[in-house]
Amino acid sequence: MKRAKLYYTNKGYSYIKVTNQDCFDWGGLAICDNCNENMKEDIYLIFILGRALCEKCFKEWCERSKRYEEDLKLQKTNHIRWYKNYGFDVIED
């Protein structure tokens, strides 16, 4: 399993940064789930959305997202397992 650092947005949502090769390894095509562009730089894998986003779409989502306590409760119980299903051993600070 590949190690990945776990990050959180300012609303509390977890994500990890992955590469396009990581995406290919789990069977993805490294295409942004929002804008449908090929992703060559950092890819943001976000549990609460169940999506992989390019940097531009990730920043846009961060600006418009809202904090929902019920989402954070779901995240708390499931996000580590979800990232592991994609082949990542997440590291929390």
Report pLDDT digits (tens) over 2-57. 999 999 999 999 999 999 999 999 888 999 999 999 999 899 999 999 999 999 99
pLDDT given at position 73: 97
Q: Please state the domain extents for the chain.
A: 2-91
User: pLDDT class for 1, splitting at 50, 70, 90?
Assistant: confident
Please state whether the predicted TM-score (pTM) of the whole model is above 0.85: yes
3-state secondary structure of 29: coil
What's residue 42's pLDDT?
92
**In this structure, is the dihedral angle defined by the CA atoms of residues 12, 17, 18 and 20, taken in order, positive or negative?**
positive
Residue 89: predicted pLDDT = 95
